[in-house]
Structure 1
């Protein structure tokens, strides 16, 4: 039995009935469809495979469930940017993704990040990112992935830096004011941006910090980022560890795989070889 988890709020909206029909047409004889809000009830059905049709924000919780049930996870990209699908080379065409979800036999073992108890698969970030994400949300329907660029530019104009102290596997890594602190698994976010050098099989998290300076320097950081040098640009703090303790003010918000959540001080950890992802042959 395939458990299909559909997130109606992703992208321009997931039509659960249409996706269910396509999954059945691809050869799945037994499909049970669940709204993402009823994720916990999937375990009671003992599925042989979990399929999630959502944006990036729904993949982490579905991956955690697949890991717990020890069944493969297939992803049908249904968000705005679908950064995880791009990083994992999963087709974004709906028909192709549905066929892969049902008939795909090759799997790749992936690690899973945790922001406290919250699972994530791409990136968790504080500072500019939550504000950029909120501003981008207003423009997603009109601009698609380009809304993230607009949101980032708007956030850079007025968002203040945050105070932050970070330890990596117990050792001091950073203390001071930062424009943005990022903890990465795939490192993919926004409109096709990615933290370079990440490895989803190394059992480690990647950290990038942009120390705060004059606001005008954000233009330079944006220039480097658009050229594929987010983590290796001049002045960026980079580290790799199995855990990061990020000490920020209570109530500090993070952008976790595109979802804005209030976390405050948080311990970030990673589970190596956590789940099996269905990928193209």
Structure 2
């Protein structure tokens, strides 16, 4: 097996070059031919990865977090080329969705070398110009995308705690946003929801922001997306809701509604959506399921 091992030192969290070296050594010890590729920017990394795939890489592995994994997803989605993840970023939410977040470098590399794979869904975002991108975990729009804006601009602290701080700061200017949400339900029926929302979140996976279970029941292998809508309430009530969000028990609160859908169209003025922690497009956008579009390496069952 020939593996292209992508490490992006320009990533915000900095893909750990020590982890990349360790992973490459471990893969080679298993007899896996491993080429380490690294770009100084996301665009350069994409070009290098495309070149490696064109030259005949059998698989792609990523050392890094959700942003670098998302970059690789764009290139391997729908190709059947398997993706291995060695979690080394700030959030690692897609790795968590796949049950890989707690793996150390050795265990993650061993899972790739073991060759065991499974197919999972991706979510596909289509913009008004017809362009599209994929994401693996969660798309945020509204309050939570503003939190991403703030968290991404923060230089300190590192790790998931900066999302917690960003959430509290954004509460100071919290307000409802006029949304139009169009849902295609599993039976093919449609539903339209209009009015002010604090946020509208779409989950292929369960968590974002370094482990916050915003879509606690989402399953990346069920052919559906989970849409979580939060209606406005007083700041104090929403602040009291936060512990339930962190516990994943918020979906039973009256201001929160959840739909399981085939696709969803989100429209709201002045809102940029984030997916896998990075901006993916200005609303309106449509999100649908790309069924079993990604093949991933997975550890053997315990």
Q: Give the TM-score, by structure 1 length.
A: 0.90
Shift of 1:62: 1.7
Whether the 8 Å CA contact 1:23–1:99 is kept in 2: the answer is no
Show the counterpart of 2:64: 54
Shift of 1:176: 0.7
Show the counterpart of 1:193: 212
Whether the 8 Å CA contact 1:11–1:140 is kept in 2: the answer is no
Deviations 1:40-70 (A, max 9, x none): 3343122111112221123234224223331
Shift of 1:17: 7.3
Show the counterpart of 2:79: 69
Show the counterpart of 1:147: 162
3-state SS in 2 of match to 1:43: helix
Show the counterpart of 2:33: 29
Shift of the 223–142 alpha-carbon distance from structure 1 to 2, 3 Å rule, reads closer
How far apart, in 1, do the equivalents of 2:210 and 2:279 lie? 17
3-state SS in 1 of match to 2:107: helix
Bigger mean CA deviation after superposition, 265-274 or 172-181: 172-181
Cα-Cα RMSD: 2.2
Q: Give the TM-score, by structure 2 length.
A: 0.84
Whether the 8 Å CA contact 2:266–2:286 is kept in 1: the answer is yes
Show the counterpart of 1:163: 178
Structure 2: which 5+ runs fail to align?
A: 40-44, 127-131
Show the counterpart of 1:274: 293
Aligned pair partner of 1:248 in 250, 253, 268: 268
Show the counterpart of 1:3: 4
> Aligned pair 1:126/2:141, yes or no?
yes
Whether the 8 Å CA contact 1:11–1:55 is kept in 2: the answer is no
Shift of 1:86: 1.9
How far apart, in 2, do the equivalents of 1:8 and 1:159 lie? 35
Aligned pair partner of 2:107 in 86, 89, 96: 96
Shift of 1:20: 4.3
> Aligned pair 1:44/2:54, yes or no?
yes
Shift of the 139–252 alpha-carbon distance from structure 1 to 2, 3 Å rule, reads closer
Q: How many residues align?
A: 279
Structure 1: which 5+ runs fail to align?
A: none
Moved over 4 A (4+): 15-18, 138-141
Shift of 1:167: 1.0
How far apart, in 2, do the equivalents of 1:165 and 1:237 lie? 15
Deviations 1:7-59 (A, max 9, x none): 22335312447614531343233425243342433431221111122211232
Whether the 8 Å CA contact 1:115–1:124 is kept in 2: the answer is no
Aligned pair partner of 2:201 in 157, 182, 192: 182
How far apart, in 2, do the equivalents of 1:20 and 1:192 lie? 26
Whether the 8 Å CA contact 2:27–2:33 is kept in 1: the answer is no
